[in-house]
Amino acid sequence: MATLSFKTLDALQPKGRKVLLRADLNVPVRDGQITDLTRIERLAPTIRELADKGARVIVVSHFDRPKGQRVPAMSLEPMAAALGKTLGRPVRFAEDCIGPVAEQAVAAMQDGDVLVLENTRFHAGEEKNDPDLSKALAALADDYVNDAFSAAHRAHASTEGVARFLPSFAGRLMEAELNALNIALENPARPVGAIVGGAKISTKLDLIGNLLDKVDILIIGGAMANTFLAAKGVGVGKSLQEADMHDTARAIMEKAASKGCEIILPVDAVTATEFRADPPTKTVPVDAVPADAMILDAGPETVRLLTEKIVGLKTLVWNGPLGAFELHPFDNATNLLAAEVARRTQAGQLTSVAGGGDTVSALRHAGVADEMSYTSTAGGAFLEWLEGKTLPGIQALSELSERILPL
């Protein structure tokens, strides 16, 4: 997406002001327990800065997909508690994001207080981007700060609509995400490469199309690579692949060639006949995959080739694992390449930006998620940004902030 200009917290004097802060508290939860605090930890600096400067910080977020119903298991109350712990200061919680409950909780705030409001998606108007909900949210506050890059691909009342009714600013996390993405693709040091993994070409067509215009090298990994290999006439045995995407894969390879973008596919593979952890495996060149076997990871020759290619790069965008990383030993190629990317990044030789879907869990599994130049907290939003789309939540911050509508 084109670089847009937006106001940051540098342009906000928050002392004594009620600031509506759109966060993304949609954190992973298993059996009622938050399993990963990354999004909360990344949000904390924005809240600290606002609260320390004397703002009354009113945090709003969605969690999961309650579809306009009040679903108790999808309450944000546990996230409010976790936020309080992370911040090391009291955080109050109100059981609705609009109406009398929210209004009374806001009225009771002092400068420097932090309040979390209940899940915005308990109201059907959130996902419909209903102006009545946007107005009711805006009525609680003086200013709007959006720090939820990871929800910016949604044009919802609390991510997009509300920005029409209040002076609007990007929070520190939003700012960091946008700067990292800008450095990676809009204004990268060249040569720039991308690693795109994952299961299906069909879900990443727009993404690949956009990347072909922007990167010098495109490394294809995961089951998606099988479709490219099969499209080139290579027998991939029982590997996951999309038989109906061969023409598309060939068209992508032709387009890449015409644009001078080098596409790199695996040259060898770790195969197995069963999809489970630690089955008997066979490592073979890609043109020698047994008919009854599946490709489940890239092999050592591929890792060597990719390592060599990465040495030549100044910038790398990473989305998607190279193999079935959730099953041992098919995490091997991803782990090895991630370690190499981390090493070059830490040595100051490479700018690396990772995000989207499984990427962060794969890098965390490899133990290097914190050693990239930037690891995005976003899933779908990161993918849409890689597709070159304008994200509505960001558009709203940049364009509409000068035209504030009356409530």
Active site residues: 39, 200, 357, 380
Query: Which span sits near Mg ion by CB under 5 A: 111-119, 308-316, 353-361, 375-383?
Result: 375-383
Residues annotated in a binding site: 24-26, 39, 62-65, 121, 154, 204, 326, 356-359
Query: Which span sits near Mg ion by CB under 5 A: 143-151, 329-337, 377-385, 395-403?
Result: 377-385
Give the nearer residue to ligand 3PG in terms of CB position, either 279 or 380.
380
Minimum distance from CB of 384 to ligand 3PG (Å)?
10
Residues in Cβ contact with 50 at an 8 Å cutoff, skipping those fewer than 6 apart: 9, 14, 19, 21, 57, 145
**CB-closest chain residue to ligand 3PG:** 26
Q: What distance, in Å, lies between the first and last C-alpha atoms of the chain?
A: 31
Minimum distance from CB of 289 to Mg ion (Å)?
33
Residues annotated in a binding site for (2R)-3-phosphoglycerate: 39, 121, 154
The CA distance from 88 to 267, in Å, is: 51
Give the nearer residue to Mg ion in terms of CB position, either 39 or 172.
39
Residues annotated in a binding site for substrate: 24-26, 39, 62-65, 121, 154
Token pair, residue 312, equals 């030549």
Question: 355 by DSSP, 3-state: which?
Answer: coil
Give the nearer residue to Mg ion in terms of CB position, either 368 or 378.
378
Cα three-residue angle 396-390-352, rounded to 5 degrees: 115
Minimum distance from CB of 334 to ligand 3PG (Å)?
21
Give the nearer residue to Mg ion in terms of CB position, either 112 or 380.
380
Minimum distance from CB of 151 to Mg ion (Å)?
9
Which option in Mg ion, ligand 3PG, none does residue 154 bind, with CB closer than 5 to 8 A by kind? Answer: ligand 3PG
Which option in Mg ion, ligand 3PG, none does residue 151 bind, with CB closer than 5 to 8 A by kind? Answer: ligand 3PG
Full 3-state SS string of 271-332 = EECCCCCCCCCEEEEHHHCCCCCEEEEECHHHHHHHHHHHHCCCEEEEECCCCCCCCCCCCH
Place of tokens 């920005």: 163
Which option in Mg ion, ligand 3PG, none does residue 300 bind, with CB closer than 5 to 8 A by kind? Answer: none
Number of residues that bind Mg ion (CB under 5 A): 2
Minimum distance from CB of 379 to Mg ion (Å)?
5
**DSSP E strand stretches across 108-231:** 114-117, 143-146, 168-170, 192-196, 217-220
Given the rule CB under 6 A, which residues bind ligand 3PG? 24, 26, 65, 150-151, 154, 379-380
Give the nearer residue to ligand 3PG in terms of CB position, either 159 or 315.
159
* Residues 276-313: b if buried by 16+ CB within 10 A, e if exposed: eeeeebeebebeebeeebbbbbbbeebbebbbebbeeb
Which option in ligand 3PG, Mg ion, none does residue 85 bind, with CB closer than 5 to 8 A by kind? Answer: none
The CA distance from 273 to 282, in Å, is: 9
Question: 57 by DSSP, 3-state: which?
Answer: strand
* Residues 180-202: b if buried by 16+ CB within 10 A, e if exposed: bbebbbeebeeebbbbbbbbebe
Minimum distance from CB of 212 to Mg ion (Å)?
25
Give the nearer residue to Mg ion in terms of CB position, either 252 or 378.
378
Question: 353 by DSSP, 3-state: which?
Answer: strand
Residues at the contact surface with Mg ion, assessed by CB under 5 A: 379-380
